[in-house]
Amino acid sequence: MTDLKNLHNPFRTTGVRTFIGAGAYFVHRVRKLGSFLVPFLAYHISGRISPVLAGYKITHKCNLRCEHCPYWRRSGPEQDFEGVILTLRRLSDLGVRILILEGGEPLLWRSGNRDLRDVVKAARRLFSSVCITTNGTLGWAKLDADRVWVSLDGPGDIHDAVRGEPIFDKVIRNLEREGRGRAFVSTTINTRNVGSIPDLIVMLKGLAAGITIQFHYPYNGLPDDLFVPPGKRASVLDELIRLKSRGYPVANSFNSLKELKQTPWTCEDRLLANVEPDGTILHGCYLKNRGPAVCSLCGFSAHNEMSLAFKGQWQSIAVGMKTFF
């Protein structure tokens, strides 16, 4: 007669594994939430402000010559792998929780036999969220990043005109193959593409997890043929609000999109740190050491969103948690 007590019970084993998995997931989520709550409470209770998010331009090298970008035009030294690790530790010691690896094109960075995969692997031990921005031409499947932003500046012809090469179809293929609906798209609005942004948003539904927008900044001052003045931004922002309300993947919160129609808007730049390819760390405005900072011309919406989150706007808090954690 079969001893029923000694039979393996797959439901019991599965239940234990499910319980353990749920517990691990809960701990993971609590840690992620703490990454926001600790600096948020310090900001409100003690008035202490330390950089929470750092953008690290690990290289100025790029395989494109985009019309609106000043960085591929710049040269200078960049760090080897050991230098990068030291810089990452310095950022962690400053209190940074979110790291965004930028360029140029960060996937072009090399140090001997090391590449960006090694940097991401090391960074994940130091930061709660590790992200990259890329032009989408090189593929990113082997990167263990929490979030990838792929730059797209409009439907095919417009994107290719801004980027200087016929790459749109390649970027879309990479999004379909490697994004798996998890990648975000980053769109810089300028005079060339402002009228086509709604078409881009509609096209990307189901392909991108979210689309974040910002406005082109005149790094070399005015006049700038690509610059959309604040007074002429309202129509495209209203259309983005309409599309978001209909379920299209506009990642910016309603509060931020509304604030961007006015100037000045909320910006607590002390929450930011920025790093140059040589390892120089600057605390504050994204434009430090990069161009003249004129707040009335700014369109860096991510800074507005993070500032609103730290001011207690729940929509912006929700956007931050979804985007980074």
Task: Report the CATH number at residue 311.
Answer: 3.20.20.70
The residue assigned the tokens 């001997």 is 112
Low-confidence ranges of the chain (pLDDT < 50): 1-8, 10-12, 19-28
Does 157 share its domain with 39? Answer: no
Three-class HEC string of 110-137: EECCEEHHHHHHHHCCCCCEEEEEECCC
In this structure, are 201 and 300 located in the same domain? yes
pLDDT attached to residue 281: 97
pTM metric for this prediction: 0.88
Same domain, yes or no, for 23 and 88? no
pLDDT attached to residue 235? 96
- The answer to whether position 192 is within a domain reads yes
Residue 268 lies in a domain: yes
Same domain, 180 and 232: yes
User: Do 125 and 23 sit in the same domain of this protein?
Assistant: no
Give the pLDDT score at 102: 97
For residue 315, is it left (φ>0), alpha (ψ between -120 and 50) or beta?
A: alpha
Range of the domain at 36: 12-48
- SS3 percent helix, strand, coil of the chain, rounded to 5, is 45, 15, 40
Query: Is 290 exposed, middle or buried, given 0-12, 13-18 or 19+ CB atoms closer than 10 A?
Result: middle
Q: Say yes or no: 213 and 115 in one domain.
A: yes
- Residue 49 has a pLDDT of 80
pLDDT at position 32 is 62
Residue 4's pLDDT is 44
217 in the same domain as 167:
yes
- The predicted pLDDT at position 34 comes to 67
Residue 206: which H helix or E strand, with range? none
Tell me, what's the pLDDT at 30? 54
22 and 111 together in one domain: no
Same domain for 94 and 24, yes or no, is: no
Residues 6+ apart with CB under 8 A from 313: 253, 255
* pLDDT of the residue at 305: 96
| Whether 183 and 238 share a structural domain | yes
Residues 98-117: pLDDT tens digits? 999 999 999 999 999 999 99
4 is a domain residue:
no
Asked whether residue 258 falls in the same domain as residue 315, the answer is: yes
Provide the pLDDT for residue 5.
Answer: 45
